[in-house]
Amino acid sequence: MAHAPPGNAFALALGSRITGLAQQALGQPSEALISLDQAMRAFAAVEMPFEAARAHLEWATCAAATDATLAVPAVQESLAVFERLGAKRYARRARRLLYKLGTRPRSTLYRHPSTTPLSPREREIVQLVAEDLTTAEIAERLIISPRTVTTHLDRIYTRLGINSRTALVRYAIEAGLLPPKP
């Protein structure tokens, strides 16, 4: 446990974080998890969301070595905070860890359905997905490669904060991107 002057919550939080990182480096993952959890809670108590998310991400990195199922939700929570605060470097770090853990990062940035951040080509692809065409069928219809369709879909998913064709169709309906049925 970290030692800090009485009543100095920030110093306690920082000490717990440093202790946890040292324990992790020394090959003491159980102790590191406890210290990093204390750091996260202490930073949250003094209303320092960035530092709390950073400690949570470090906790998840340590936990990932033994149990990815515990780490993934912690990384996703950290990513949400980093995105909300505009901490791009740490958001990238969280996304990289999610990919390493076999999980596709989902953006937590809320997009209002009435504002469409999609290009005309992306809207075209969304409409074809809504028609239940496969990637190959979309590529053939638009005279582009299937890889290009996949790239467009990846960008659309990231931009909208979704991760499936079903969610994409739901978004398209709510945003009014689909032409009315006759």
pLDDT tens digit string along 88-142?
A: 899 899 999 988 888 877 654 444 444 557 888 999 999 999 999 999 999 999 9
Euclidean distance between CA atoms 9 and 15, whole angstroms: 10
Largest CA distance in the chain: 72
What CATH number is given for 9-100 in this structure? 1.25.40
**Whether pTM exceeds 0.75:** no
What does the pLDDT read at residue 135?
A: 94
Tell me where in the chain the CATH 1.10.10.10 domain(s) lie: 120-175
What are the backbone angles phi and psi of residue 12, rounded to the nearest 5°? -65, -45
Euclidean distance between CA atoms 14 and 27, whole angstroms: 20
pLDDT tens by residue, 61-97? 988 888 888 888 888 888 888 888 778 899 899 999 9
User: Is residue 50 predicted with pLDDT exceeding 70?
Assistant: yes
Euclidean distance between CA atoms 94 and 82, whole angstroms: 9
Residue 112, Cβ density class (10 Å: 0-12 exposed, 13-18 middle, ≥19 buried): exposed
- Identify whether the C-beta of residue 61 lies closer than 8 Å to the C-beta of residue 94: no
Bigger pLDDT: 164 vs 35? 35
Tell me where in the chain the CATH 1.25.40 domain(s) lie: 9-100
Q: How many residues are given for the chain?
A: 182
- Identify whether the C-beta of residue 11 lies closer than 8 Å to the C-beta of residue 43: no
What CATH number is given for 120-175 in this structure? 1.10.10.10
